[in-house]
Amino acid sequence: MKRLHSFILKSFLGPLAFTFLICMFVLLMQFLWRFIDEFVGKGLEWTVIAEFLFYVSATLVPMALPLAILLASIMAFGNMGENYELTAMKAAGISLQRIMKPLTILVILISLGAFFFSNNIMPIASLKTSSLLYDIKRQNPELILKEGIFTNDLPKFSIKVGKIDKQSGMLYDLLIYDHRENRGNTNVTVADSGTMITSADKLTMNLTLYSGNIYEEVRQKIRRRNKHHPFRRIKFGAYRTSIALPGNELHRTDEDKFKNSYRMLNLTQLENQKDSLENGLLKKKENFGKSLIAKYYFRKEMKSLRTDSIKRKKLLAKTSDVDSLFSSLSVNKKLTSISNALSYARKARENVSRKDQEFIASTKWIQKYKNEWHRKFTLSFACLIFFFIGAPLGAIIRKGGLGMPVIISVLFFIIYYIISMTAERFSKELVMQPFWGMWTSTIIIMPLGIILTYKATTDSTLFNIENYIDFLKKLNPFQLLKRKSSADN
């Protein structure tokens, strides 16, 4: 049995490593396709890009690992079924459960490792990814000039070039707007030709212009509208200046800025953060209720009554019966009282409506922490469920390689992913509880694994196309009439 277990483990580990790398590569390319604009023209060093890809790869493990287990289990058992190795094992009296036993233990260990990874490694990887992506987005791009198009890549400057000689690097028909004084388009430079050369330390841009003019509006203490303002024009044959560049070094942001987000916390931190947010929301609701009662339901007594105790006692005696107090008022005072009451009611309704939206937004934010708490466990269960779907499915279809297993694996994973994303969206919108939002896909897919395991154990021909063809032939009306006539005879 040790040799048999070793053979089964080798048949599974090879496809698992291969499919996991393929899944990670595909998901990583899909991620880069989304954020490719943030990297182009930033002059980032290869070490920064490699670091970012490493952290992103760690965040993609929850999607790649279950799919890799599903695909590897189908390939492993499909290959053994196609080569009649499963048939030989069953003929020797070894059941499918015993064949799956070493892989079941292995997948359980992988699931425990996935839980540890999700709870301890994923928060750190998410924190590093978010922080580094934020810094990359803030990085100023390198200066890229295009013919006939204004370029704003240079800080405080807007540059347009008519023609670029790619061999000599000479620029022609230059139009430069200088916005360093933040006064609008008050400094314009026009030149027939020129060159732009970056210094060796990449901190300055040396600009040399030939045969042009500088138009600058003269600053005045009082600027009047609809009036002509003086300006100066400087004509030059050759003009040289230096422009300070922001530098291509990546400025790192303090990671503490992102550490309280729900994706950057483990189970204990999520629980503590959720409790603090819920307590804060409860206090806000209590304080709002008290302020609402004090401002709009029970008005404070007039200042004159605070010093006059006799008038206050009389008023309190009258207010014990509100209806009789209202009946004792004159018509004008009744109308005034009703108008004031309506005004207070409208203000209270507006205030309640505004606060209700704030409370709903806070509740949705708390819901994300609850969803993330459940997500720590769904990865482990997804690995187990996909194994118990893929292993019996491979034993039934008996096809190895990357053909049929890939199609079936991707189909099952897409169904699982759509259900998971839809239920999670319902949970974020407060339509479903966090438990159902995060576990619905698992609850729906789990019976499928049980059914497939039972069918594979009983040697079911669930995916035998010939059986379905024979069944359709039996439903053919001509065949039914032929059978009926033969039975009558």
pLDDT digits (tens, 9 = 90+) for 182-204: 777 778 888 888 888 877 766 77
What is the predicted pLDDT for the residue at 302? 47
pLDDT digits (tens, 9 = 90+) for 54-80: 888 888 888 888 888 888 888 888 888
What is the predicted pLDDT for the residue at 109? 92
Report the 10 Å Cβ neighbour count for 450: 13
Name every residue whose Cβ is closer than 8 Å to that of residue 213 and which is 6 or more positions away in sequence.
189, 190, 233, 234, 235, 236
Residue 297 confidence (pLDDT) above 60: yes
pTM of the predicted protein model: 0.67
What average pLDDT score do residues 211-230 get?
Answer: 69
pLDDT digits (tens, 9 = 90+) for 303-351: 444 444 544 445 555 455 566 666 777 778 778 877 877 887 888 888 8
* Nearest partner of 14 among 91, 99, 71, judged by Cα: 71
Residue 402 confidence (pLDDT) above 60: yes
DSSP state of 255: G
Name every residue whose Cβ is closer than 8 Å to that of residue 145 and which is 6 or more positions away in sequence.
151, 159, 161, 164, 171, 196
d(CA 460, CA 3): 28
d(CA 160, CA 148): 6
**Averaged pLDDT of the chain:** 77
What is the predicted pLDDT for the residue at 394? 79
In the chain, what percentage of residues exceed pLDDT 90?
1
In the chain, what percentage of residues exceed pLDDT 70?
77
> Which residue is associated with the tokens 């509208």?
225
Task: Report residue 196 CA to chain centroid gap.
Answer: 41
Name every residue whose Cβ is closer than 8 Å to that of residue 439 and which is 6 or more positions away in sequence.
374, 378
Residue 452 confidence (pLDDT) above 60: yes
pLDDT digits (tens, 9 = 90+) for 245-262: 665 556 666 667 777 778
The one-letter amino acid code at 262 reads: Y
Burial state string for 394-403 with b = 16 or more CB within 10 A and e = fewer than 16: bbbbbbbeee
Q: HEC profile for 347-388?
A: HHHHHHHHHHHHHHHHHHHHHHHHHHHHHHHHHHHHHHHHHH
Given a contact cutoff of 8 angstroms between Cβ atoms, the answer to whether 39 and 56 are in contact is no
What is the predicted pLDDT for the residue at 185? 75
What is the predicted pLDDT for the residue at 312? 47
Residue 486 confidence (pLDDT) above 70: no
